[in-house]
Amino acid sequence: MKRRSFLAAVAATALVPMHALALTSSQAEVLVGKVVNDINAVIKSGKGLPSMIKDFERIFLRYGDVQIIARSALGADARRLTKSQQKAYVSAFTGYISRKYGKRFNEFVGGRVEVDSTRKVKSFYEVRGTAYLKGESPFELNFLVSDKSGKNLFFDMVIEGISLRLTEKSEIGAMLDKRKGNLDALIADLKKAG
């Protein structure tokens, strides 16, 4: 769980496929490097947890394709959102992700992530890396990076083969099922969850 939390925290701060040859391998690596550097700066800042969570949310909004991640997490039910519900859902989802993974920052003090390689996969790039945490064996984490939304952003992180995006899709789906498909109830609960 610690590994997933770390990957999710790093990935959530930064989360989409690309236009033909517009995004390059080095641009994908640079994006991941910025995400990792910004996360490490927050961890080392010595700030209190509420401030770190706010910083984490800013990083997620800056480097992650939040619209794609949020809609993907909701799955087919995203098509049922009205425009006002979509805006409220994305905002609630962003806060939920930031609180959920931001709470775990202190566990990662002294850790580092190194980029190992980058490869093109279909219409996006997979930036492969290794995470080193104190007292833990190194583990693989991959960022999926695209420019499909018009900017270079990551749309998923995969920690030891487990996708952050798909994990959240499962969790959001279960939350929606518990609320009998009521999107407004899901949005209200996401504002408090995490």
Residue 71 CB contacts under 8 Å (≥ 6 apart), including other chains: 78, 90
Lowest mean pLDDT among 5-14, 23-32, 130-139, 140-149: 5-14
8: pLDDT strictly greater than 60: no
Ordered by where they begin, the domains of the chain are: 2-192 (3.10.450.710)
pLDDT higher for 40 or 94?
A: 94
Burial of 169 (0-12, 13-18, 19+ CB in 10 A): middle
Q: Residue 145 and residue 149: Cα distance in Å, rounded? A: 11
Q: Do the beta carbons of residue 152 and residue 38 sit within 8 Å? A: no
What pLDDT digit, counting tens, does each position of 133-187 carry? 888 889 898 999 999 989 999 999 898 889 989 999 999 999 999 999 999 999 9
List, for residues 73-129, the tens digit of each pLDDT value. Answer: 999 999 999 999 999 999 999 999 999 888 776 666 677 778 889 999 999 999 998
End-to-end CA distance of the chain: 15
